[in-house]
Amino acid sequence: SRYYREVLPGEIVKISRHDVQTLDVVRRPEGDPSAFCIFEYVYFARPDSIFEGQMVYSVRRRCGQQLAIEAPVEADLVSTVPESATPAALGYAEKCGLPYVEVLCKNRYVGRTFIQPNMRLRQLGVAKKFGVLSDNFKGKRVVIIDDSIVRGNTISPIIKLLRESGAREVHIRVASPPIRFPCYMGINIPTKEELIANRPEFHDLANYIGADSVVYLSVEGLVSSVQESIKARRDSNPKTQKSLLGKLGHCTACLTGDYPVELEW
């Protein structure tokens, strides 16, 4: 029978017609923990991807549950901007005991707004991107779970749309911490000045984007949501090759400014 697993950080694998061999696992200098990009779990990866032995969907659901513990709110229903934050929204709703209800439906013919070249196109993109399921939320207090707010100009028109269509209150809960720092490890994060978390508007973000409240998941909450089941599995399985896996670690540089390598300019 064939056995598939992830290639470990720093692992050198030789694949031949006869077999697959691990030649070596190159440790990080001074035994530092590995630094797997935590934003893969939050945003980049497909929900059915499996990293470090766990499904991305399950991690996102746990992030939503953790967000409900950290930032509950008096509301009537929980929803999301379809559909990258759906697992987190389901986790939040489950933990709060509120119904998960769809408030927007997606137009399948428009690409992601994050990568549109300028703000006007991004905002136009939002208007074309969603239809409103107004019967589902008229007169209700709505919690919208988003996976991340990068610039703040994509969520704004969505909140406006929901209010114009009858939402009584719109509360935003973000299932990741604010992005504050550039990534030098290959992800094209907008410049520091463009990131909403570094702008003066961030101090009154709810007012700036037109929401009744905005709360982000804490860095500790994200890390625990990601690491919880990895730790449990390691601790419960005596066969785990701890020597192969090395110390558990994730890169949170874009959230904390704590880079896993020394930056050379």
pLDDT tops 90 at residue 228: yes
> pLDDT at position 137, please?
98
pLDDT tops 70 at residue 33: yes
Distance of alpha carbon 116 from alpha carbon 151, whole angstroms:
12
> pLDDT at position 20, please?
92
Helical axes 219-236 vs 56-70, angle rounded to 10°: 130
Average pLDDT for residues 154-177, to the nearest whole number? 95
pLDDT-derived band at 27 (thresholds 50, 70, 90) equals confident
Average pLDDT for residues 94-117, to the nearest whole number? 78
Q: Please count the helices (runs of H) and the strands (runs of E) in the chain.
A: 9, 12
- The mean pLDDT value of the chain amounts to 89
Q: Please name the residue ranges forming H helices in the chain.
A: 38-39, 56-70, 86-96, 119-129, 155-164, 205-209, 219-236, 242-245, 253-256
Tokens 């697959």 correspond to 20
pTM for the complete prediction? 0.86
pLDDT-derived band at 242 (thresholds 50, 70, 90) equals low
Q: What is the pLDDT of residues 83-92, one digit of tens each?
A: 889 999 999 9
pLDDT-derived band at 55 (thresholds 50, 70, 90) equals very high
Average pLDDT for residues 210-214, to the nearest whole number? 98
Query: Could you say which of 2.30.30.240, 3.40.50.970, 3.40.50.300, 3.40.50.2020 is the CATH number of the domain covering 55-220?
Result: 3.40.50.2020
Residues β-bridged to residue 55: 50
pLDDT-derived band at 47 (thresholds 50, 70, 90) equals very high
Range ranked top by mean pLDDT from 72-76, 83-87, 147-151, 187-191: 72-76
> pLDDT at position 8, please?
83
The domain segmentation of the chain, as residue ranges, is 55-220
pLDDT tops 70 at residue 117: no
pLDDT tops 60 at residue 112: no
Average pLDDT for residues 237-246, to the nearest whole number? 58
pLDDT tops 70 at residue 170: yes
